[in-house]
Structure 1
Amino acid sequence: MIKRFLVLLLVLGINAGAQTAVKEKPSLIPLPQKLEWKNGQFALKNYKEIVVKNASLYQEAELLQKQLKELGLVVPIKKGVDNNSNQPKIVLELGKIETQDSTAEAYKLNIDVKAITIKGSGNSGVFYGLQTLKQLIGAANNVQACSITDWPAFSWRGYMIDAGRNFQPMDLLKQQIDVIAAYKLNIFHFHFTEDIAWRLESKLYPQLTNPETMIRNKGSFYTQNDLKELINYCKERHITLVPEIDMPGHSAAFKRAMKMDMQSDSGLVIVKNILNEFCDTFDVPYIHIGADEVKITNNNFLPEVIALLEKRGKKVIGWEPGGKFKESTIRQLWMEDATKVSANHNVKYIDSRHLYINHMDPLESVVSIFKGKIANLDKGNDAALGGTLCVWPDRRVSKPEDVFMQTAVYPAVLAFAERSWRGGGQPGWLTYVGLDGSKEVSVFKEFEHRLLNHKQRYFSKMPFPYQAQSHLKWQFYGPFNNQGDLSKQFYPQEATEIDTNKATLTAIGGTFILRHWWGPVVTGLIEKPEENTTWYASTKIWSDKDQLQNFWIGFNNISRSYGSDSPDEGTWDNRKSEVLVNGKLIAPPHWKQAGAKGNLELPLIDEGYEFREPTKVQLKKGWNTILVKLPVGSFKGKDWQNPEKWMFTVVPWL
């Protein structure tokens, strides 16, 4: 076992001493801005009372009390300061925190033998301090001595779920809210009206939620009491719920229910009535009106809608690119490169570019989000508020939970939480861990260790499709001109032993996109990819015995926003990609929908490696050579629903 452990560390590229040091300290996500570990661990049971110095913090104290009770600890709450008590205590208080930026979300946490003290600039700061404290609790309910001063780089740290296309039940929505609260996100963007269905009750127009107006999940919608409950559930967790009522685009369900177009004169009257009803019913500061992907036929529509909402005291948000908005409208960027919006300092904006995880693979999403730079900035400002991570399950799913396996939501949430709280990152959309020996590899590797610890500790009963990848080192060989013959073989496949000195480059990771369908905007591994070429990738995997090993293997992770075709039987993809282990071809899965033509109403079943049974690969004792063949013809997909994403994923389950 000792030999196996040391070899595994060698394969993972981890120094044994460094790995031990990582395990000694709790894994925190997001990592605090200032963190000083100190000597000593203290038993949580020794802290005998929760002292609340400010009456407004009683809700946070009750939250802490509940968390401790779940650990088997009954700790009373006391108001004010008990000067006669010398017993260890947990102190919650408000006060000024010295940070780079003034924010109510800043906090200071100190743990020593006498007290655990959480001071916040505001109640939200204390709440975030409690989330950090929860992560600091280790085995046997011990806490590590430390001093933390922490604050967010961005004031807007959002998460969006589309429940218009695929309905999500209340318990699943609350689960998502609980997760984002634990990781210090503060916006829950709730998208519940779509072409597919209008999913919010209206007392004025009950026909909007009639089952016959819905294409999917017929009859499933949220009552007004449901939405009130969600708004309050968010407020208790210092999250602002941002409702989106999409208009005038994405409104086919409205048209089916009301028998008219939104932009007609009569339609506009109804929209105004709906918005007034909404403002009368719900206590929210923002209303998102969508306003993208539509031809404006009524030039009065958006100005009148925005004027109404602003008169009702609401801050209006719209998608950019989208309609012609007032300067006061907050823009949510989904494609625009931020230069046009950021050039006008009077316009506030939220960045969601490169944050649509329905287009990303699980391993790619964690890497690209962690490495990305929100709003092209290290931290927010008065105009650049922050970012929102978006989950758009455009394609029908068989059951609501499938969204979280097919789109790998929670791994992406943790990566986004780290980046939106910490700030920084790298410019552009980067899809792989990094080149061998680069600093970015070691930075990502450290984050991945924390991510995997959180997967094990907090997500054992929730979908969390992510496997370690920062230990995998691949040599890439190419390009070889295949002249359009994708079956043609070249040196790495013909050689008895591959000479690693002939490698074109060496890179780290488990998923590699040689060229994205959005290239060159999205940066793939190959700097100047060429059509009609073949590349090879090779790595070595150690096994301490002859065994069947589970692998994630895939060559075309289908976007959940397109009606893409399923792979043909007997193929991994349409490029004739192959994977060989010790010279033996690994057969592709027996696809359950082999050759099915793309259809947004046809749920995916096993097309993605993350939600099908793993591929079982026979490994021999010792080193095993994996060779991946990556041919490509034209970069132009056969249609927009089937874009050409030249890529592969090969990852063993550790």
Structure 2
Amino acid sequence: MPLPVQAEWQPGYYRFATAPLGALRRQVTGPAGSTDESYHLRVTAAGASLTAVSALGLQRGIATFRQVLERQPRGWRAQYCDIRDWPRFKWRGLLIDAARHFLPVAVIKRNLDGMAAVKLNVLHWHLSDDQGFRVESRLFPRLNQASTDGLFYTRAQVREVLAYAAARGIRVVPEFDMPSHTTSWIVAYPRLASVDSAYAPYTLWRTTNVAIDPTRRSTYAFVDSLLTEMTALFPDPYFHTGGDENDGRQWRRTPRIVAFMRAHKQVKADGVTPDKHLLQLYFSQKVDSLVRRHGKIMIGWDEILGPGLPHDVVVQSWRGAKAMAQTVQQGHPALLSAGYYLDLNYSAATYYTADPHAGVPDSLRTRVLGGEAAMWGEYADSVVYDSRVWPRAAAVAERLWSPAAATQDVPDMYRRLAAVSDELEGLGLRHRRTPAILLRQMAAPYPAALPALQTLAAVVEPVKEYKRNFQGFKYTTETLYNRLVDAAPAESDVARRFGATVDSLMAAQPVLTSLVPTVAPMPLTPVARGQLARLQKQVQQWQQASAALTPLFVVAPNLGEYAPLATQLATVATLCQQRLAQLASGQPVLPAWQTEAKLQLDAAQKPAGQAELAIVKAARRLAGL
């Protein structure tokens, strides 16, 4: 984020006569291999200096220096500052899922640029899943052929990404998920299967509940050979083996595996019922021994945790604070991803207030390495990926870099997030450009409606969590992400600002109803009148956009599924206009009006095309509901 918390700012600016980064004096006072990321940045009338104890510290300081720069007509200037800065957590990651949708190297690179700009330092590269195995394997070439689209990274491309990341102070930790999320493995090599079934390449997004067989020696021989190849390619000391979302149904339904579980006392307290968790723990321990033999430290998701797992194995939590507490209490290093799932389409404020230390006893907090934002790829192909990651990932980055107290000022976080979003766009990320291009393509049959379509898209968000799976549209690996739901922002800035203005206006006004007619209306202050005028202008724009979209829906049938959202926008705008008129004239809210407004707003909240209006909650508050 632009303004590090550990900073002191002075009035005034220093002007650069030459390129700004060339004018920065760098000093390295420690070993080049140090992982210390602290730095001291000072800008005065005499010039700018950056001091660090490592090359990493220099990179972090330069990232901050870029954020204090301003381009002027005759060059650059930097605000005077004296910043001593350092990270709160040493592990600050972004999970990029290239398994479900293959992401070209160019996409990975520009997201690495974004990571460096906000001081994220670990790329968690999710490289295999049910839909595909994305790294060239010379030992098991059929793995690459089993991907639904046949796309994968060559060894040369992997090395290219590794070098690009290293140059920006970012480590790369690969993930090859097992024993579940391995349908692509079994398609390629059926001998790995837990059941005697044939599998075709998996083209859907829901979890398959397919798992490789953990009872055969041949399975571990395969895993060992694969690790031999992949650990040699990825130099980082950590190696992620997944371990999540295996419900054990295939294991429990296979007599041979059930017999194995009972023979190895992998049963529940009754001594008979097979316990899939104990078998998974057995698998995790075996895989850990293989990872360790190749000189790596294993990372896995929550499900790998259990008695007997070596204490240096890192457990990454997608289940939340309780799982984090269990991890550190059992002596393991922990990473938090729960609360940072960007694909759930929550607000930046939601991610900003999540904390890796939540629920962890003070005495065990040193075992928390940090956290990772996670962008799973079911509903984000290479075209829209940037817009689903940025700028919200920057809120996670600040949460992992800055002191816990930084979360106290969420409005200021949004102010700075807007500046970061500008910077990221300048670095080449396409989180703004691509949605704009998609909207122009949608409006091509009737270009005059483009401004109205942009207005609608700006107040629409994809449905939250995993609801997109269950709203009448079948997604497959062949689905194109070029609909309005894909161009809509994960978080609507327009809706957020509208809601903030509504809250500010309502906080200054008494709630007047016809039941309290003796209460005199409070005259509007100049500030309130300005807020009221801005809201009235906004709702008028929504009404006009709703009407202007009708011809586009006629000539662009693919957009027809979103006609209900345009109608809902008109309804909400009309209700807001009525309420604003009441506030302007000091009229009380009639209960009958509120009852009708509630019914209409309830209807307006219903999604269409896996998208929903983001302004309904603010409209409810404006209506006093």
Q: TM-score range, shorter-chain basis?
A: 0.5 to 0.7
1:513 aligned partner = none
Mapped to 1, the partners of 2:240 and 2:378 lie a distance apart of: 19
Work out whether residues 473 and 539 of structure 1, in 8 Å CA contact, stay in contact via their aligned partners in 2: no
Amino acid at match of 2:168: R
**How big is the shift at 1:45?**
2.1
Pairwise mapping of residues 501-540 of structure 1 onto structure 2 (< 5 A)? Answer: none
Q: Does 2:157 match 1:173?
A: no
Question: Which of 390, 397, 405 is the matching residue for 2:374?
Answer: 390
Instruction: Give the equivalent residue in structure 2 for 1:123.
Output: 55
Q: Quick check: which one's helix share is greater? A: 2
Q: Which residue of 2 aligns with 1:214?
A: 147
Which whole-Å CA distance do the structure 2 matches of 1:550 and 1:207 have between them?
A: 56
Matched, 1:31 2:3: yes
Structure 1 stretch 183-192 or stretch 381-390: which is displaced more? 381-390
Determine the C-alpha separation between the residues in 1 that align with 2:91 and 2:24: 33
CA distance in 2, matches of 1:111, 1:584: 48
1:250-275 Cα distance to aligned partner (Å, 9 max, x none):
00000000112232432321111000
Mapping of residues 618-637 of structure 1, within 5 Å: 629-631=600-602
CA distance in 1, matches of 2:539, 2:577: 20
CA distance in 2, matches of 1:42, 1:377: 45
Displacement of 1:382 in angstroms is 2.7
How far residue 103 of structure 1 moved from its aligned partner, in angstroms, is 6.8
Residue 268 of structure 1: which of 212, 220, 223 is its match? 220
Helix, strand or coil: the match of 2:56?
helix
The answer to whether structure 1 residue 306 and structure 2 residue 291 are counterparts is: no
- What amino acid is the match of 2:352? F
Equivalent pairs, count: 452
Post-superposition offset of 1:321: 3.2
Equivalent residue runs for 1:390-409 within 5 Å: 390-395=374-379, 399-405=381-387, 407=388, 409=389
1:249 corresponds to 2:180: yes
- The 3 A distance-change label for structure 1 pair 339 and 315 is closer
CA distance in 2, matches of 1:107, 1:352: 27
The answer for the alignment partner of 1:231 in structure 2 is 162
Q: Which residue in the other structure is 1:463 paired with?
A: 431
Q: Out of 406, 415, 420, which is 2:395 matched to? A: 415
| Residue of structure 2 aligned with 1:287, choices 239, 243, 249 | 239
1:581 maps to which of 536, 560, 573: 573
Distance 1:454 1:345, change over 3 A: same
- d(CA) in 2 for partners of 1:382, 1:341: 14
Structure 1 segments unaligned to the other structure (5+ residues): 1-28, 47-67, 76-87, 97-101, 428-439, 477-490, 503-537, 553-565, 587-618
User: In structure 2, what is the equivalent of residue 334 of structure 1?
Assistant: 318
SS at match of 1:174: helix
Residue in structure 2 matched with residue 105 of structure 1 by the alignment? 37
Give the 3 Å change call, closer, same or farther, for CA 631–319 of structure 1 in structure 2. Answer: same
Q: CA deviation at 1:376?
A: 1.1
User: Which residue among 65, 69, 73 is the counterpart of 1:133?
Assistant: 65
Whether the 8 Å CA contact 1:374–1:423 is kept in 2: the answer is: no
SS at match of 1:376: coil
- 1:30·1:418 contact (CA, 8 Å) conserved in 2? no
Q: How much does 1:199 deviate?
A: 1.0
1:135-150 paired onto structure 2 within 5 Å: 135-139=67-71, 140-150=75-85
- Alpha-carbon distance, 1:501 to partner: 9.0
| Per-residue CA distance 1:591-643 (angstroms, 9 max, x = gap) | xxxxxxxxxxxxxxxxxxxxxxxxxxxx9xx99x997744389x9x9xxxx99
Q: String of CA shifts for 1:556-590, please: whole Å, max 9, x gaps.
A: xxxxxxxxxx99776449xx99843234999xxxx
Pairwise CA distance, 1:647: 8.7
CA displacement 1:38-61 (0-9 Å, x = unmatched): 243222226xxxxxxxxxxxxxxx
| CA distance 1:94–1:319, change in 2 (3 Å) | same
Contact 2:93 2:371 in 1 (8 A): yes
- Structure 2 CA distance, aligned partners of 1:323 and 1:315? 15
Corresponding residue for residue 510 of structure 1:
none
Question: Structure 1 residue 467: deviation in Å?
Answer: 1.9
Task: Flag the structure with higher strand content.
Answer: 1
2:110 partner amino acid:
Q
Cα deviation digits, residues 245-296 of structure 1 (max 9, x gap): 1111100000000112232432321111000112233312110000111156
Kindly tell me: are residues 246 and 647 of structure 1, through their superposed partners in 2, closer, same or farther at Cα, counting changes over 3 Å? farther
Cα distance in 2 between the residues matched to 1:115 and 1:540: 43
Query: Residues of 1 paired with 2:538 and 2:247: CA distance?
Result: 62
Question: Where does residue 49 of structure 1 map in the other structure?
Answer: none
Distance 1:545 1:244, change over 3 A: closer
Once the two structures are overlaid, the 10-residue window that deviates more, 293-302 or 374-383, is: 374-383
Gaps of 5+ in 2: 194-211, 252-256, 258-278, 433-488, 505-510, 523-531, 547-558, 620-625
Contact 1:341–1:349, Cα closer than 8 Å, also in 2: no
Residues 284 and 175 of structure 1, relative CA distance in 2, 3 Å threshold: same
How many Å separate the matches in 1 of 2:152 and 2:514? 59
Alignment match, 2:417: 451
Asked whether the 8 Å contact 1:342–1:383 carries over to 2, the reply is no
Letter in 1 for 2:422: Q
Counting only pairs closer than 5 Å after superposition, residues 532-571 of structure 1 correspond to structure 2 as: 541-543=535-537, 571=564
Structure 2 residue identity aligned to 1:111: V
Q: CA deviation at 1:322?
A: 3.8
Q: TM-score, normalised by structure 2?
A: 0.63
CA distance in 1, matches of 2:63, 2:544: 35
Q: What is the match of residue 526 of structure 1?
A: none
Identity percentage over the alignment?
A: 24
CA gap 1:550/1:182 in 2 versus in 1, 3 angstroms: farther
The match for 1:195 is: 130
Q: What code does the residue aligned with 1:305 have?
A: V
**Residue 16 (structure 2) aligns with:** 44
Match of 1:514 in 2: none
**Post-superposition shift, 1:458?**
3.6
What is the RMSD computed on CA atoms of the aligned residues?
4.5
Cα offset for 1:105? 0.8
Q: 1:103 to 1:301 in 2, by over 3 A?
A: closer
Following superposition, the deviation at residue 500 of structure 1 comes to 12
Report how far residue 116 of structure 1 moved.
Answer: 1.7
Aligned AA (2:166)? K
- Counterpart of 2:602 in 1: which secondary structure? strand
Amino acid at match of 2:45: V
Q: What is the aligned partner in structure 2 of residue 356 from structure 1?
A: 341
Partner SS, residue 116 of structure 1: strand
Once residues 346 and 551 of structure 1 are traced to their aligned partners in structure 2, the CA distance between those partners, rounded to angstroms, is: 58
- Matched with 2:202 is none
Contact 1:579-1:585 within 8 A present in 2 as well: no
In structure 2, the residue corresponding to 1:248 is in which secondary structure?
A: coil
1:550 to 1:328, Cα distance in 2 relative to 1, 3 A? farther
* Contact 2:348–2:392 under 8 Å retained in 1: yes
**Which residue of the other structure, out of 351, 372, 376, is the alignment partner of 2:354?**
372
- 1:508 corresponds to: none
- AA aligned opposite 2:401: W
Q: TM-score, normalised by structure 1?
A: 0.60
